[in-house]
Amino acid sequence: MTRYALRRVGFMIPTLIGSTFLVYLLVFLIPGDPVLALAGTKRVSPATAEAIRNQYNLNDPFVVQYVKYLGNVLHGDFGTDFNGNSVISTIGTALPYTVALALTAFALKLVIGLLLGAWAGLRPGRTADHANLAFTILFLAVPGFLVAYLVQYVLGIRLHLLPISGVRHGYPVAFVLPALVLALETASPLARLTRNSLHEVLRSDYVQTARAKGASPSRVLWRHALRNAFVPIVTYLGLSMASLLGGSVLVEYIFNLPGLGGSLAQAIQSQEGPVVVGISVFLLLFYLVSALLIDLLYPVIDPRVRHA
Amino acid sequence: MLDQTQSAIATDRTAATRRVAPTKRGNPTLRALRAAWRRPTFLVAAVIIITTCLMALVPALFTSTDPQDCTLSNSRKGVSAGHPMGYDMQGCDYFSNVVHGARTSMEVGVLTALFIFIVALITGSLAGYFGGIVDSVVSRLADVLLGMPVMVASLVVLYQFRERTIWTIVFVLVLFGWAGTMRYMRGSVLQVKNNEYVQAARVLGVSSLTILRRHVLPNAIMPLIVMTTLGVGAGMTAEAGFAILGVGLKLPAYSWGLQIAQASRDGNWQLAPHLMLFPALMLGLCTLAFVVIGETLRDVLDVRSR
Amino acid sequence: MTLPLLQIRDLHIRFQKDGAQLDAISDLSLDIERGSTTVVLGESGSGKSLTAKAVMGLLPPGAEVVSGSVRFDGRELVGLADRELRRLRGDAIAMIFQDALTALNPVTPIGNQIAEVHRIHERISKREAWSRAVASLDAVRIPDAARRAKDYPFQFSGGMRQRAMIAMAITRNPDLLIADEPTTALDVTVQAQILELLDDLRAERNLALLLITHDIGVAAQSADNAVVMYAGRLAERGTIGEILDEPAHPYTSGLLGSVPGPEHRGRDLPTIQGAPPSLDDLPGGCAFHPRCALATDVCRDRLPARTDFTTTHTTWCHHAEEALDGQPAAATV
């Protein structure tokens, strides 16, 4: 178990370095002055430009720049924007909103995906199965933001049921629509996986053995079929939780939520390059760490991983 | 005696290069494709895609109105005679705009998918077939890329580029997107590589490149093609997403993404929903069509290969 | 004379495939005495596995018993409610399967799976169930049973896994154990051990064994009685001695003749020409006639009637006498 944990951590570190390096490379090694690029179309005073340059150690050789940057980041210093406000404070304010959204969306998606998938898995080939497939394909294909706009329009504007912008109404009211949109978007792979997993498990040999032991249908279903069907599902859920936490920029932007994604979009609008870079790098790290934590939970569920 | 053996081996080798493996070319694949055509959803999807391609290639077929022929007083007017999609914010015919937008959107989608296909094909087959250092390097790189949230990474990179053209967007999407498809291809190659007929060919001394070309690739390639079809829709969607966030193509380009983005700004679409509706509908239909094609192909091929 | 433990009479099972109704098993009659070992011999598609499942009431979806009777300990099982059947399964009648790796739940320790059988049939504490499980693992000669009971199926070797499955089957001391190809997936040496174990258990517990197999060697090693099936019907039935030494059906002779032995050295192995028919394409009359050296017109037209040689030895062949006299050579054309 510890060996597995060490391996996973050891695996994460080069990935972390690799991805931050790649992003850093693409941001700061572009032709032209990176500081000007960060500023977009804004006019920046030479003093501010110099301050930013120092902040990112742009006068140092490239690799040194990167190492210093990584060092700063790991200490929680994500730089400051053009007005001197620290990026980390923006991140700090925004984080709770993203987490709230991610958790709510996750819960909704679990309900939708598992129920639909299970219903289809228990009745293969019948209406439930076809409905599941149609749902899956539909939400897989239609872009998330379209669903967002549609939901906003129908439920928010036409029917005035729920707020479509901002967090004025607090939790959970303001989060219902965005969480719903995110859940719909990500429930399809879950529904399909649940259906397939369940279908396969129900036809497996050990289910037959369970019946041969005299187990009742409910025992066969709960203790044998579902227990096994869940293994790949949980694996998938882990990944998807990490990705939800990685911030849904579009949904937060469309629903005007001041989470990490929303702040990122906001920074793009206001041409605050350092904030864009800062939040992005934070999200990158956040995603990697979440994925690692969830990875470390697998041995708990699947004994085969525990002993491998 | 030695000559005889040598010429025998030579003949064997030629035979091996020509046809050792039961390649999946020919009957099974064609049969599968024909089965796909029989499905109604597949047909509908194909029609949608062909129509969109026509729109992209020959917009004149669909509209003779100049998309830039605008009268401000017509701003945001709805559907009316001669203007099936109404007018946009500048008072230009929206239908014409949307038709012209097809080209860019399709370009982004198709180019992204195409280049991901090429990169994944090459890297995946090299990594899978040769293993060793090549595999380590490629797989490590892929791991790094797969450990990054694509949207976030693309945003920050696109932000830095002042001039954003179709190629900029394609570049970013391919950069962050090839890893997943590569893994798929690599897996496929690994499976085929361990088949006996491939090992037989190697023993007979057939060159690696030839084996790759004639035996490994034809069998490993079908799943890749499925993923590529699915990728076109993803490319188009990404372009629109970037546009909405402000890091997409720059005006005065025409694309569905830009149109949706403009409609979404300042609540324009809430006043005039048709501004959002039409490009969104086109984008949605197209992505849906590509997904249906991809899924149907996967379905028919899956059953065959069992 | 005591009543046989299991009595099957004229069992007829039908099976749906692509809209067509197929006769998977017809006119099957069989007796199994307590404490005896009966082997059902046949190739794939002969209906032997289905017979086993029919006894347990575990027919796959699409298959159903059309007519006939299966009496266990005097009690009719055909038509019995599932709830009643469940009481018997695992308790009075148990079954083990071919591949222990897929037949055991991969994510539950073996001990729990065995204990589960007890908890299904009896209200006992987890601890009590567990100790019985360990005792069963011991009975099937798995070393260090107490520790190994906590292991998962994938941590066992093939032979051990099969033993564990046997432990699970016998833990409640059933009267009848049905084994569907129990040794097919195992190495020859392990096969022998498993068969020996089954035989010992049988002797210790007066357990009746119904062994399903296509392997004559298995039959020869363990059985008291044998039943040969072909295309869903009985071909021949008798004690193992009668079947091995005096086969009275061309199919049986063919099977026996194709077992490699020293007399075949240097020559081609005799086989039965042709292949077993698929159920949706059965030849008329006696299903074996296209492959039979003794076939005549009557074989094509009519199902063979039953011929009893002794109280135990019965065959279904139009040319039964000839089959009895002729030996392996008759079937190898």
Nearest CA in chain A to C86: A214
Instruction: Mark yes or no for CB contact C120/A302 under 8 Å.
Output: no
| Whether residue C330 has pLDDT greater than 50 | no
- Average pLDDT of span B242-271: 84
Chain B residues with CB inside 8 Å of A19's CB? 144-145, 147-148, 153
| Same domain membership, residue C311 and residue C233 | yes
Cα C270 → chain centroid: 25
Instruction: Mark yes or no for CB contact C90/A213 under 8 Å.
Output: yes
Find which of A203, A207, A213 to mutate to test the C interface (most C CBs within 10 Å of its CB). Answer: A213
| Whether residue A5 has pLDDT greater than 70 | yes
Chain A residues with CB inside 8 Å of B246's CB? 265, 268-269
Chain C interface includes A219 (CB < 8 A): yes
| Same domain membership, residue C296 and residue C206 | no
Find which of B41, B152, B292, B299 to mutate to test the A interface (most A CBs within 10 Å of its CB). Answer: B152
* pLDDT (tens digit per residue) in C84-135: 999 999 999 999 998 888 899 988 999 999 999 999 999 999 999 999 999 9
Cβ within 8 Å of residue B284, ≥6 positions away: A141, A142, A143, A146
C128 or B213, higher pLDDT: C128
* pLDDT (tens digit per residue) in A116-163: 888 888 887 788 888 888 888 888 888 888 888 888 888 877 777 777
Q: What's the domain range around C275?
A: 229-324
- Confidence at B304, pLDDT banded by 50, 70, 90: low
Closest CA to C52 of C177, C175, C171, C166: C177
Cβ within 8 Å of residue A74, ≥6 positions away: none
Specify the DSSP element, H or E, that contains B225. Answer: helix B217-245
| Whether residue A305 has pLDDT greater than 80 | no
Instruction: Mark yes or no for CB contact A140/B156 under 8 Å.
Output: no
Chain C residues with CB inside 8 Å of A214's CB? 86-91, 117, 120-121
- Confidence at A109, pLDDT banded by 50, 70, 90: very high
- Tell me if A75 is assigned to some domain: no
Instruction: Mark yes or no for CB contact B140/A18 under 8 Å.
Output: yes
pLDDT > 70 in chain C, percent = 97
| Same domain membership, residue C307 and residue C194 | no
| Same domain membership, residue C106 and residue C43 | yes
| Same domain membership, residue C166 and residue C31 | yes
Q: Identify whether the C-beta of residue B182 lies closer than 8 Å to the C-beta of residue B127.
A: yes
| Same domain membership, residue C259 and residue C194 | no
Burial of C199 (0-12, 13-18, 19+ CB in 10 A): middle
pLDDT > 70 in chain A, percent = 97
- Tell me if C80 is assigned to some domain: yes
A279 or A35, higher pLDDT: A279
Complex ipTM: 0.84
Q: Which pLDDT value is given to residue B189?
A: 83
- Tell me if A266 is assigned to some domain: yes
- Tell me if A276 is assigned to some domain: yes
| Whether residue B20 has pLDDT greater than 60 | no
- Tell me if A45 is assigned to some domain: no
Lowest mean pLDDT among B37-41, C131-135, C208-212: B37-41
User: Which of C170, C190, C223 lies at the terminal end of a domain, its last residue?
Assistant: C223
Chain C interface includes A222 (CB < 8 A): no
Q: CB neighbours (10 Å) of residue B113?
A: 26
Give the sign of the dihedral formed by CA C16, CA C20, CA C24, CA C27.
positive
| Whether residue C162 has pLDDT greater than 80 | yes
| Same domain membership, residue C161 and residue C68 | yes
- B8 CA: distance to closest CA in chain A (Å): 48
* pLDDT (tens digit per residue) in C251-260: 888 888 777 7
- B273 CA: distance to closest CA in chain A (Å): 9
| Whether residue B2 has pLDDT greater than 60 | no
Q: Identify whether the C-beta of residue C144 lies closer than 8 Å to the C-beta of residue C201.
A: no
Q: How far from each other are the two terminal CA atoms of chain C, in whole angstroms?
A: 44
| Whether residue A6 has pLDDT greater than 60 | yes
Which residue blocks in chain A are alpha helix, DSSP H? Answer: 2-28, 34-39, 46-55, 62-74, 87-122, 127-141, 144-151, 173-202, 205-212, 217-219, 227-245, 249-254, 260-269, 273-295, 298-301, 303-307
Instruction: Mark yes or no for CB contact A228/C56 under 8 Å.
Output: no
Give exposure, A90-116, as e/b (b: 16+ Cβ within 10 Å): bbeebbebbebbbebbbebbbebbbeb
- Average pLDDT of span C144-166: 92
**CATH number of the domain that residue A238 is part of:** 1.10.3720.10
- Tell me if C141 is assigned to some domain: yes
Closest CA to B174 of B129, B122, B213: B122
Beta bridge partners of B92: B70
- Tell me if A64 is assigned to some domain: no
- Tell me if C1 is assigned to some domain: no
User: Which of C223, C246, C281 lies at the terminal end of a domain, its last residue?
Assistant: C223
| Whether residue C323 has pLDDT greater than 60 | yes
Chain B residues with CB inside 8 Å of A22's CB? 144-145, 148, 153
- Confidence at B302, pLDDT banded by 50, 70, 90: low
- A226 CA: distance to closest CA in chain C (Å): 11
Amino acid at C280: D
Lowest mean pLDDT among B45-49, C4-8, C223-227, C319-323: C319-323
Chain A interface includes C117 (CB < 8 A): yes
From chain A residues 100-139, the ones with a CB under 8 A of any chain B CB are 137-138
- Confidence at A247, pLDDT banded by 50, 70, 90: low
| Whether residue A230 has pLDDT greater than 90 | no
- B235 CA: distance to closest CA in chain A (Å): 11
Q: Which pLDDT value is given to residue C328?
A: 44
Number of domains in chain C: 2
Q: Which pLDDT value is given to residue C161?
A: 92
* pLDDT (tens digit per residue) in C31-83: 999 999 999 998 877 888 888 899 988 888 888 899 999 999 989 999 889 89
- Average pLDDT of span B225-237: 88
Closest CA to B140 of B179, B188, B191, B185: B179
- Tell me if C313 is assigned to some domain: yes
All chains having 3 or more CB pairs closer than 8 angstroms to chain A? B, C
- Tell me if A101 is assigned to some domain: yes
Q: How many CB pairs under 8 A join A and C?
A: 71
| Whether residue A12 has pLDDT greater than 80 | yes
| Same domain membership, residue C310 and residue C189 | no
Q: Which pLDDT value is given to residue C326?
A: 63
| Same domain membership, residue C206 and residue C237 | no
3-state secondary structure C228-296: EEECCEEEEEEEHHHHHHCCCCHHHHHHHHCCCCHHHCCCCCCCCCCCCCCHHHCCCCCCCHHHCCCCC
Alpha-carbon distance of C179 to B265, in angstroms, equals 71
- Tell me if C199 is assigned to some domain: yes
Instruction: Mark yes or no for CB contact A284/B152 under 8 Å.
Output: yes
Cis peptide before A172 (omega within 30 of 0): yes
* pLDDT (tens digit per residue) in A40-56: 777 778 877 777 777 77
Q: Cα separations (Å) of C103 from A305, B153, C97? A: 20, 46, 7
| Same domain membership, residue C303 and residue C204 | no
| Whether residue B66 has pLDDT greater than 80 | no
Q: How far from each other are the two terminal CA atoms of chain B, in whole angstroms?
A: 45
Number of domains in chain A: 1
Q: At what angle do helices A2-28 and A62-74 cross, to 10 degrees?
A: 130
Q: Which pLDDT value is given to residue B23?
A: 46
| Whether residue C170 has pLDDT greater than 90 | yes
pLDDT, averaged across chain C: 87
C274 or B121, higher pLDDT: B121
Q: Which pLDDT value is given to residue B303?
A: 57
Instruction: Mark yes or no for CB contact C90/A209 under 8 Å.
Output: no
- Tell me if A22 is assigned to some domain: no
| Residue with tokens 């709960």, as numbered in its chain | A222
- Which among A32-41, A141-150, B217-226 has the top mean pLDDT? A141-150
Closest CA to A194 of A112, A108, A252: A112
* pLDDT (tens digit per residue) in C269-315: 777 777 778 777 788 788 888 888 888 888 888 888 888 888 889 99
Q: Which pLDDT value is given to residue B236?
A: 92
- Tell me if A230 is assigned to some domain: yes
Q: Which pLDDT value is given to residue C333?
A: 38
Q: What's the domain range around A213?
A: 94-307
Chain B interface includes A89 (CB < 8 A): no
- Tell me if C180 is assigned to some domain: yes
User: Which of C223, C242, C265 lies at the terminal end of a domain, its last residue?
Assistant: C223
* Nearest-CB residue to A214 (from C89, C106, C108): C89
| Same domain membership, residue C174 and residue C66 | yes
Secondary structure letter of residue B22 according to DSSP: -
Closest CA to A151 of A169, A163, A136, A137: A163
- Which among A117-121, B215-219, C139-143, C293-297 has the top mean pLDDT? C139-143
SS3 label, residue C107: coil
All chains having 3 or more CB pairs closer than 8 angstroms to chain B? A
SS3 label, residue A162: coil
- Confidence at B24, pLDDT banded by 50, 70, 90: very low
Nearest CA in chain C to A231: C107
Nearest CA in chain A to B243: A250
Which residue blocks in chain C are alpha helix, DSSP H? Answer: 48-56, 82-88, 100-103, 110-121, 126-139, 145-148, 158-170, 188-205, 216-222, 240-245, 250-257, 297-301, 320-325
Q: Which pLDDT value is given to residue B27?
A: 58
- Tell me if C71 is assigned to some domain: yes
- Tell me if C329 is assigned to some domain: no
SS3 label, residue A75: coil
**CATH number of the domain that residue C186 is part of:** 3.40.50.300
Find which of A17, A19, A252, A281 to mutate to test the B interface (most B CBs within 10 Å of its CB). Answer: A19
Q: What pTM did the predictor assign?
A: 0.76
Find which of C80, C98, C116 to mutate to test the A interface (most A CBs within 10 Å of its CB). Answer: C116
| Same domain membership, residue C208 and residue C258 | no
